């Protein structure tokens, strides 16, 4: 058993060097075996125990057992109390998910505090088989079918290659005791139902079903690596710039619907939403879809993604206070006298305005139907909608475009053109220079 675990650790490069290992120990058979095996392999271990206060006296019994074990084996011991039910209620989580979040957050904080190289947890092969079946029942992709990884960041699983039966047999042979969680005998929880009801039924037809599922999960873990590489390559082709998906390029891919889902899931869109989006790829522009964090707009030959704005006003009054720091876009004002030596930076992101032409207070706002201005260098007025069309603005770009206005007119289409009526002339006395620091 010891040699098998050492080989697994080396194969997956789970541990190296002399830095300590933080070991999550509940007191059950799996975690006791993990701690004992790592200690016998010569790793410097630190015991971490969570008391979730979910099982009354059993929770206190478990903590006392783990504390005593650490004292007998002369291993540093750390413990923490959690009000798991309150945390679950406040965060609208299941008890199982709440305990998981609390446990791993504390483990990581403790790992950093103590300088441990890894967090070792006691998941074994049977846990992995149960996870695969649980994910299959709920609906999953490759990431769910490959189950748990030997390493996930700093979390390692040295026992993933051995079964529950092997672990308990080894503990028995070594004369090592452990505690039993009484809730493991209840099939009210889905995972326990799989362990107590489903797997025995499958084993009655196929005795080696656990080994078969475990091998399949390991194989699919490798397949997922290849799959992710292919998705990343397709993502770079379909979305050469952030927030813009090229429809024609997408439709040329081998599995465009799958690729679209893999891209959009990162922006909070569900499988059902992606199916709806895919159905309108060749339809008219203007269709919109929303996730909890983003909006997507079909605009001609592209799908445009943008974060949902967070309480951003459509109009922001600036007045003549040019030192305001709470503006919705990064702009800077500088008032200076006009002179023949005035250096003009030729950039769409820098505007030079005749300060004396400005009427009343300045404000920033988004465009409205019917807006017009006289673009710099022209004499006649131009509708802003026509300007946007001429310069091939996308629907999202039009909605996000800011206008600097005085109390009479548009002064500057920010990052584009100023209104010709506000350009500086020989008789201009004061110049207002505005820098727009485009993101």
Annotated binding site: 26-31
Backbone φ and ψ for 113, nearest 5 degrees, come out as: -60, -40
Find the distance separating the first CA and the last CA of the chain, reported in whole Å: 57
Beta bridge partners of 412: 404, 418
Neighbours of 168 (CB within 10 A): 14
**291, two tokens:** 């996730």
* CA gap 422, 410 in Å, rounded: 10
- Which position has the token pair 């308990």? 168
* CA-based radius of gyration for the chain: 32
Beta bridge partners of 48: 24, 78
Binding residues for ATP: 26-31
Contacts of 155 (CB under 8 A, 6+ apart): 104, 107, 118, 119, 121
- Strand pairing category for 402-405 and 362-366: antiparallel
**335, two tokens:** 């008032």
Element (H, E) at 212: helix 209-238
Distance of CA 49 to the CA centre of its chain: 28
Q: Reduced to 3 states, what is the DSSP secondary structure of residue 240?
A: coil
């Amino acid at each position: 058993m010891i040699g098998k675990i050492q080989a697994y650790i080396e194969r997956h490069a789970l541990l190296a060097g002399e830095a300590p290992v933080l070991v999550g120990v509940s007191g059950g058979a799996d975690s006791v075996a993990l701690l004992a095996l790592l200690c016998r392999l010569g790793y410097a271990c630190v015991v971490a125990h969570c008391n979730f206060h979910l099982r009354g006296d059993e929770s206190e019994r478990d903590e006392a057992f783990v504390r005593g074990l650490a004292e007998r084996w002369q291993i540093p011991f750390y413990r923490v109390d959690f009000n798991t039910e309150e945390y679950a209620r406040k965060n609208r989580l299941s008890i199982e998910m709440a305990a998981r979040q609390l446990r791993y957050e504390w483990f990581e904080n403790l790992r950093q505090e103590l300088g441990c190289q890894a967090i070792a947890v006691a998941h074994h092969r049977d846990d992995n088989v149960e996870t695969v079946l649980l994910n299959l029942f709920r609906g999953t992709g490759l990431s769910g079918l490959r189950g748990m990884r030997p390493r996930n960041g700093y979390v390692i699983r040295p026992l993933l290659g051995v079964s529950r039966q092997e672990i308990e047999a080894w503990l028995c042979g070594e004369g090592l005791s452990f505690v039993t969680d009484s809730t493991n005998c209840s099939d009210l929880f889905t995972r326990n139902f799989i362990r107590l009801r489903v797997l025995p039924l499958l084993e009655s037809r196929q005795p080696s079903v656990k080994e078969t599922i475990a091998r399949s999960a390991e194989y699919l873990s490798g397949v997922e690596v290849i799959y992710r590489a292919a998705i990343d390559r397709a993502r770079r082709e379909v979305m050469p710039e952030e927030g813009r998906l090229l429809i024609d390029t997408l439709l040329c891919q081998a599995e465009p619907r799958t690729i679209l889902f893999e891209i959009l899931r990162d922006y909070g869109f569900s499988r059902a939403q992606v199916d709806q989006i895919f159905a309108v790829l060749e339809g008219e522009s203007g269709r919109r879809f929303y996730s909890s964090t983003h909006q997507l707009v079909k605009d001609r030959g592209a799908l445009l993604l943008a974060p949902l704005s967070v309480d951003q006003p459509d109009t922001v009054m600036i007045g003549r206070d040019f030192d305001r720091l709470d503006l919705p876009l990064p702009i800077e004002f500088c008032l200076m006298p006009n002179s023949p030596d005035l250096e003009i930076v030729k950039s769409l992101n820098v505007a030079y305005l005749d300060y004396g032409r400005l009427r009343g207070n300045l404000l920033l706002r988004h465009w409205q139907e019917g807006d017009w201005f006289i673009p710099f260098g022209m004499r006649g007025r131009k509708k802003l909608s026509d300007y946007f069309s001429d310069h091939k603005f996308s629907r999202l770009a039009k909605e996000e475009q800011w206008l600097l206005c005085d109390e009479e007119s548009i002064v500057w289409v920010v990052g584009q053109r100023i209104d010709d009526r506000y350009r500086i002339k020989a008789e201009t006395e004061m110049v207002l220079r505005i820098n727009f620091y485009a993101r």
